[in-house]
Chain A
Amino acid sequence: MKWAGIAYALVIALLSTPAGAQSDPKAELAKLKPKDFPTQPIEFTVVYPAGGGMDVSARLLAKHVENLSGDRIIVNNRTGGAGMVGHSYLATQAKPDGYTVGVIASLLWGDAMLRAQGRWAYTDLEPIAYVNSDALIWVGSTEGPYKGMSIKDIVNAAKEKPNTIRVAIVPGSMWEYILDQIEANSGAKFLRVPFQGGGAGIGALIGGNVDVAQGFFSEFRGYLEGGKVAPLAVAAGGRMDFLKDMPTFNEAFGSNEYLWQLVRYAVVPKGTPADRKAYLAAVVQAAMKDPELVAEYRKQGVFFDPKLQNSKDLAADLNAYADVERQFYVKTGRLK
């Protein structure tokens, strides 16, 4: 395994020096490529249905990885149970032979901590590359009784008249957890109308069936341009490039705990041979350096977390995020 270690060091060197970016990435990848790998298509597993944000991110990535490496990539949607079926498959059944790469989101952590019941842990999947991030944004309508209100106004309104403001949520996920935090900190009470995804909630907002919806930028950008929705606040560490005027929840409430973002990254099952893992990591990371892919992601409305983008130890940085989430679960009694 010594040569594998050297190979891994090489990837690190390649990606951290600017010289590496200037030299031909294809030639660098060819050096790393194990002799017997890949001999068949590599499967990018996505645990959410085709067409969603996760799927689109994975398919764009697959296209660029394919161009860069010349290896054939198949994107495979293993869906069901709001991601639980696919996550369990990756963690427990997928063969660690390098032919399975999971392109997943940080919702994995919640599944692992709350729903896996000890059958697997998120550490059964080893991160190989960071892809992109999306932060949860609250949007209100530009019509109706709550138009023109800021996030603070709305929370105050929900405090004065509890159980009148209808908020679209996706149950058992961050869409709901952020409401828990707001309600606990402010004493406000919202009506939680459950939907099966962020997009459905936005639709209900446009139709006047809820008063506040939550979603990612790409899910409501069209209505924003059409003047139908007003962004209220984002649950990220800083303001979004594309919506400079929208405050973060933390700014609005003078807090630091409202951090609900989706981190998308690539993983391999634990036990994947080191040389194959290093090669896959190098290929995906090199694809992520491709300005064309970055531009396509930006068009989609996602952002890049600088901390993860320049990470020296991706696994450790991701674990740090996961720990914040764990603390929330422990604090709210969801996790013992």
Chain B
Amino acid sequence: MFERALNVFWIVSGAASAAYAWSLGMVGPAGPESGLFPFIASVIVSGAGIMLLLRPSGVALDFPRGGGLWRVLGVIAGLIVMAAGMPYLGFSVTSFITMIILLRAVDKSSWLSAFTLAFLSTASVFWLFGQMLGMALPRGPWGW
């Protein structure tokens, strides 16, 4: 079922992309225009989608279940928090929060070990990249 949906997705997005590429122009006075290469690639995506739909490979998506599902969602949630929070809270605070989420959701660590590990890893990454390598990691309103 899922695979079928994905194949339909390939066909539709390939077609949409081909239409967009067409609007960029195909061939100009000096050879291919901006649209030609993306157009060819889009047509291939759509075509391959159609072929896959006609000849399903029969791979069943082994959808994560139970604990596995929660752990996968936990990691994704952690990354969302990271990407969404970083511009506002800065690197250190956001990654600390993310680590807590990850350790609690995935590992079911105790609060104490989660805090310790989150603190240690955030601090060491911050030290290594921010201080040693002089990389400007995003800062929070409090300046770090």
* A, B: real partners: yes
What CA separation (Å) do A40 and B143 show in the bound complex?
A: 7
Q: Which residue of B lies closest to A194 (CB)?
A: B30
**A43 contacts the other chain (CB 8 A):** yes
Flag if B87 contacts A93 (CB, 8 Å). yes
Flag if A74 contacts B134 (CB, 8 Å). yes
Flag if A43 contacts B136 (CB, 8 Å). yes
**A187 contacts the other chain (CB 8 A):** no
Q: Which range contains the number of A residues in contact with the other chain?
A: under 10
Q: Which of B87, B134, B135, B136 has the most CB of A within 10 A?
A: B136
Flag if A40 contacts B134 (CB, 8 Å). no
Flag if B144 contacts A40 (CB, 8 Å). yes
Interface string of B125-144 (1 = CB under 8 A from A): 00000000011100100011
Interface string of A38-67 (1 = CB under 8 A from B): 011101000000000000000000000000
**A300 contacts the other chain (CB 8 A):** no
Flag if B143 contacts A74 (CB, 8 Å). no
List of A residues within 8 angstroms of B139 by Cβ: 40, 99
Q: Which residue of B lies closest to A40 (CB)?
A: B143
Q: Which residue of A lies closest to B143 (CB)?
A: A40
Flag if B87 contacts A76 (CB, 8 Å). no
Distance (Å) between the CB of B23 and the closest chain A CB?
18
Distance (Å) between the CB of B127 and the closest chain A CB?
14
Provided the pairs A39-B143, A40-B144 are in contact, do residues A74 and B87 lie with their beta carbons within 8 angstroms? no
List of A residues within 8 angstroms of B134 by Cβ: 74
Q: Which residue of B lies closest to A97 (CB)?
A: B143
List of B residues within 8 angstroms of A99 by Cβ: 139
Distance (Å) between the CB of A115 and the closest chain B CB?
15
What CA separation (Å) do A99 and B139 show in the bound complex?
A: 11
Distance (Å) between the CB of B90 and the closest chain A CB?
11
List of B residues within 8 angstroms of A41 by Cβ: 136
List of A residues within 8 angstroms of B136 by Cβ: 41, 43, 74, 76
Distance (Å) between the CB of A99 and the closest chain B CB?
8
What CA separation (Å) do A15 and B5 show in the bound complex?
A: 69
What CA separation (Å) do A74 and B135 show in the bound complex?
A: 8
Residues of A within 8 A of B (CB): 39-41, 43, 74, 76, 93, 99
Show 12 A/B contacts (Cβ-Cβ < 8 Å), sorted by A.
Answer: A39-B143, A40-B139, A40-B143, A40-B144, A41-B136, A43-B136, A74-B134, A74-B135, A74-B136, A76-B136, A93-B87, A99-B139
